[in-house]
Structure 1
Amino acid sequence: MSLGDENGYGSGSGRTDDGYSTIGGTRQTRTRLPDGEGGDGYGTPRRPARSSRSLVTVVGVVVLLIAAIALANMGGGDKDGSGDGPGNGGNKAGAAPTAATGTKPVTGKNGSIPSGFAHDEQGAQSAASNFAVALGSVGMFNADTRRSIVQATHDPAVVDGLLAAMTKAYSPGFLENVGLNEDGTTPSGLTFVSRTIPVGTKVIEQSSDTATVEVWCTGLVGMAGQGSTKPVTATWFTISEKLKWVGGDWRIESSSQTEGPTPVNGDNRASTADEIAGAVEGYGGFTYAR
């Protein structure tokens, strides 16, 4: 939920991404001119801007949003958040540094998903980050693993309704549209990629047993391999999760998603489909801790 897009559900030429860096050790400054006025200053026409995301990128993001809207429509409005909990009794939290705190990640697991987060602000941020990763993963495109992920990340009171909404969202037509077979399996010779990578978190509101956390993410989504017509692309988005302390751990009560903030694309050379497939299969994910 790739979590990056997205980095290439985002993320060489050997040149730094800094537009004001030196080039080739000559200490020359590269100057970008508007289109039609000399390209990049070295006689090379300026590379045209990408017109839009591919369809697979858009629908990959939309699925999570559909699920979030469905869950939000089920009700269960905001609570007052009274009490003397770790988050100052419902007051909005101030900005937090982006650096990690140094506290060790959780060691527990609920299936394949980290569990046992601390009952405090830091624990809520860690939980929100790991939940975003799980909900943006390849497992969401298979009915059985999707059920396990939703049960492990959400308040039991909302699981059944959310799963029903997701069954409609992940229809055979949708799965075929993103390049999968109608049953959610990947065509032979290809690698389906869907990863969400948290970039940072921010607590919007915190009380003793509830927290609203925003997770800024980049993600990867698409199909890697020879002959793929839906290449892996990058996305940037922010997930807002309302968490509730249930059964001794944080769980999602409701969520929503917005686009961005999105940085300017760098000048990195796009890797081949085989390189992307090899990276996805060779590099594992992380347990995220604030």
Structure 2
Amino acid sequence: MKDLGAVKYFLGLEVAHSKHGFYVCQRKYALDIISETGLLGAKPADFPMVQNHKLALVEGKEFADGERYRRLIGRLIYLVVTRPDLAYSVHILSQFMQCPKEEHWEATLRVVRYLKKCLGQGILLRSDSALQLEGWCDSDWASCPLTRRSLTGWFVLLGLSPVSWKTKKQPTVSTSSTEAEYRAMTGLQCEFKHLKQILQSLGVEHKQGMNMYCDSQSALHVANNPVFHERTKHIEVDCHFIRDAIKEGEIKPSYVSTKIQLADIFTKALGKAQFEFLLGKMGIRDLHAPS
């Protein structure tokens, strides 16, 4: 083993050190993707995916080079390591890897054109950040038109630094938006437990309750209501899991408006204004952007 000094480039990750902290991006990796797809001269896109898309219902012509599609999606999946803004679009497009259509390929190329707009975008792990976890969770109820399963998204900050994010389809069908939101809260609490264990292994004690922000007042009511009824009996395990965490002071659920719900960017395709607004609140930076 050798001490190679401070890390600067590792497995496509570029790390810049300063008094403000560590800045991690994948600029060269993103540039390789744009070059490989032949879009170096293409017009950049302002956001990765159009609103109200119907990609799951596309029945057009199959894309001739399925292997090329799968390769590009695989590279985009790795890019999500430092690009939370791509989590939703890559999640949607990765569902068609078995049999992609022409429309799916065009949607993927739009994501690549979006990369061209913000090539050096990455995450800043700040040195002045408090070691306090807080997270946002959201869901898009019955969003899959084929299975009617809901989409869960969560985003976790350690102080002011983004450390974890996820877009995931729920394993079962939720019968109401409240149930879908509650399952999103459960997913975020599992992530909280995992991150607390990592911090503990690094010698960081996290004794304070973790703030959990949700934009569903009904889900928060279920979390704080000790009485079970017919609407919650089929999610009883999740109910106990969240309520025990609240009772023990592990989490502090709070309501947040949908307009400032950071996890909204992980559950649906947003327009330019809302997309850029939420992205600016998430601690995402682009050191290569003109000042």
TM-score of the aligned structures, taking structure 1 as reference length: 0.23
Higher helix share: 2
TM-score of the aligned structures, taking structure 2 as reference length: 0.23
Which of 1 and 2 has higher RCO (CA within 8 Å, sep 6+)?
A: 1
